[in-house]
A and B are shown apart, each in its own frame.
Chain A
Amino acid sequence: MSGRTMFEKIWGGHVVRENEAGTTLLYVDRHLVHEVTSPQAFEGLKLAGRTVRHPEFTLAVPDHNVPTTDRSHGIADPSSAKQIDALEKNCREWDIPFFALDDHRQGIVHVIGPEQGFTLPGMTIVCGDSHTSTHGAFGTLAFGIGTSEVEHVLATQCLLQTKPKTILIQVDGTLSHYCSAKDIILAIIEKIGTAGATGYIIEYAGSAIRALSMEGRMTLCNMSIEAGARAGMVAPDECTIDYIRGRPLAPAGKAFDAAAEAWRQLSTDSDATFDRVLELRAESIAPQVTWGTSPGMGTAVDQYVPDPKTITDDRLRVATEQALDYMGLTSGTPITDISIDKVFIGSCTNGRIEDLRLAAKYAKGKKVHQRVHAMVVPGSGLVKRQAEDEGLDQVFQEAGFEWREAGCSMCLAMNPDVLKFGDRCASTSNRNFEGRQGKGGRTHLVSPAMAVVAAIEGHFVDIRSWIHSQP
């Protein structure tokens, strides 16, 4: 028998039954729930007279809709408040563990899962949110689902799935000191396109991936969905095991040792094969900046805004023209000549402690450009507390960044953190779609380091040369 990939091992371990016509009833170990995609699922459950099968395998938190300014007096927006109240009410009714808005553990669902040790290797995890792929960083099969499937999982702890194909993305070599996981994933998406991995599960491997911290691996897996894949995975190793040890919901003592031993067996067998393989050299990756309205529309910071006239594919040319028109950019402009008005550091892509440490390293002793409004939104209450313990909040505030409460914030701008029409933003989030951060807002996706230096200079800069020009 030929070897199995990590994905096949995990998938195989979760098959409850194979249905006729090639559909699998797949077991779900853990389910994360947030306020936006769950109310209709709970309502459906009630209407059908069903119950929640395993509330104890579920964890709920409000994140998408929450204000990031002082919220001790409640939420001003009545519809946001109603959604958050509904989540709380549903969780109480069904006995689902819940982090309330004023709980110091509250935060973005994909930040708190790993932080609490709720996310463990070898699991299947789902959530009514496409960036559930984040949890794959632990060697977990984790993917986003719609609200009907949220209801399905609540009622049955299972999902009907068809088996996806697998793609191996192998990144070997040494990544530049000024690049991070965000640059790797943006470079991959630029290369394969936003539908490049549709129908596939990605496994990331290679020495450059191994060298990433858990935070970096989460950033990488997080944006698998922007490449079209529902899930991305990195095999667990000692780095993973060390990260998990001691987390509140992780196994402890002997149980932890047994679990860790099992986790070490999860990685892909050496003779296993993938449906597709893509290889990349880490040395070829430069700091990335997106210029368009799809995450694949990006380039290296030392490049130029592209010229649609040079694109032969009709539809791609039109899409590029539309994107440049929306973004208010002229072909041939050096990326470093693009001025910005806003900077957003945060989100489930780059709102973890390591991201904030890195951002603070570049912000220290500097000042945000006078034209720029910049904000830092920690991914969770615990990230915020940790950052404050390390004095990072001081560094940011002295540099002129706003320091906020945890939440999704300007990543999707469902709360009051919204770009004004025409505002141009350097953002560490994951989507640069039209209007994503506010109607008429223009989003450029970058790493935390690139966002900070853009905030300081008021335009994009090549951090590799910038660093040497600093006193």
Chain B
Amino acid sequence: MDPFTTLTGLVAPLDRLNVDTDQIIPKQYLKTVQRTGLKDGLFYDWRCMPDGTPDPTFFMNQARFSGVAILLGRDNFGCGSSREHAPWALLDYGIRCVIAPSFADIFYNNCFQNGMLPIVLPEDAINELFCSVDATEGYQLTVNLDAQTITRPEGQLIQFVIDPFRKSCLLSGLDTIGLTLEYEGDIAVYEAKRKTDVPWLFPS
């Protein structure tokens, strides 16, 4: 996994509540056996009109948002299915950070597994950012994970909160499976005890 330290990038708005993972990456793109190449499916049903032509009102079809790295969202972002294809598709499109007032649990978690940073900010701060993005072409933000700050081009700093364990994993690009495997001893001890406590779970 690539580490996430700082990111300066173009911000695009997605002003909808409850953006679900079926929208982020529709099912027809789930038939892959790979993690890459999913950008073609990103927000496909919102990006394209029923006849397949691009919907000019959607951010992905607007020149000013080409090269987006940070997505601004609303409450309950990433709800629905557990498909990790959702963060994979965002990442494949170049989006490494999503800022929203709240995220659905599984999506939130899946982001960290892929070197992406989901940032929770209060509603007011989000509203201000939506206004700024709307008003300023080429609006960029700088995210500093170590300092837990977002720097606005106007100069203000926004502080954000993040779980310290997730933060350190992201900063170092840590392989969490490797980490768990280091506790092989603890797992073996646990399994031996569990076998005595609940023997019916260990059919011979």
Contacts and interface: CB of A to CB of B under 8 A. Distances in A.
A214 B32 CA distance: 35
A21 B168 contact: yes
Interface stretch (B59-67, B108-116, B144-152): B108-116
A228 B82 contact: no
A146 interface: yes
A64 B114 CA distance: 24
Contacts of A16: 183, 186-187, 190
A439 interface: yes
A48 interface: yes
B105 A413 contact: no
Interface in A234-264: 251, 255-256, 258-259, 262
B81 interface: yes
Interface residues of A, number: 76
B33 A148 contact: no
Given A86-B33, A151-B177, A433-B23, A146 B110 contact: yes
Contacts of B113: 146, 148-149
A79 B28 CA distance: 10
Contact of A146 (B22, B109, B191, B200): B109
A24 B84 CA distance: 22
Contacts of B109: 145-146, 149
B132 interface: no
A255 B165 CA distance: 40
Interface string A42-85: 01000010100000100000001100000000000101101100
B202 to A, nearest CB: 9
Interface in A163-186: none
Contact of B165 (A19, A40, A80, A434): A19
B18 A319 contact: yes
Contact of A20 (B105, B165, B186): B165
A435 B198 CA distance: 45
Contact of B199 (A228, A255, A431): A255
A129 interface: yes
B80 interface: yes
Interface string A286-328: 0000000010000000000000000000011011001000000
B177 A435 contact: no
A158 B105 contact: no
Interface string B33-53: 111000000000100001000
Contacts of B34: 39-40, 43
B171 to A, nearest CB: 13
Given A228-B105, A435-B22, A83 B31 contact: yes
Contacts of A86: 33
Contact of B22 (A40, A129, A431): A431
Nearest to B179: A160
A222 interface: no
Contacts of A123: 201
Interface stretch (B6-14, B71-79, B90-98, B133-141): B71-79
B147 to A, nearest CB: 18
Contacts of B55: none
Contacts of A48: 175, 177-178
B168 A50 contact: no
Contacts of A315: 17, 74-75
Interface residues of B, number: 59
Contacts, number: 187
Contacts of A77: 31
Contact of B33 (A39, A162, A440): A39
Contacts of B203: 56, 251
A217 interface: no
A324 B45 CA distance: 17
B124 interface: no
Contact of A228 (B33, B79, B168, B190): B79
A5 interface: no
A144 interface: yes
A152 B84 CA distance: 14
Nearest to B79: A194
A362 interface: no
Of the listed residues B16, B26, B31, B75, the one surrounded by the most CB atoms of chain A closer than 10 A to its CB is: B31
A439 B168 contact: no
A155 interface: yes
Contacts of B179: 160
A53 to B, nearest CB: 8
A439 B201 contact: no
A25 B183 contact: yes
B104 interface: yes
Nearest to B190: A16
B105 to A, nearest CB: 5
A37 B27 CA distance: 12
B121 to A, nearest CB: 15
Contact of A80 (B16, B20, B31, B200): B31
Given A37-B83, A120-B201, A414 B30 contact: yes
13 contacts: A23-B163, A50-B177, A65-B31, A146-B106, A151-B177, A157-B191, A158-B187, A160-B176, A195-B79, A259-B200, A412-B81, A434-B45, A435-B22
Interface of B: 16-18, 20, 22-23, 26-28, 30-35, 45, 50, 74-76, 79-84, 87, 102-106, 109-110, 113-114, 163-165, 168, 175-181, 183, 186-187, 190-191, 194, 197-201, 203
Given A148-B114, A258-B199, 7 more contacts: A20-B165, A22-B163, A43-B34, A146-B82, A147-B35, A414-B27, A435-B23
Instruction: Name the 5 nearest CB pairs between A and B, nearest first.
Output: A148-B113, A251-B200, A39-B33, A21-B165, A146-B84
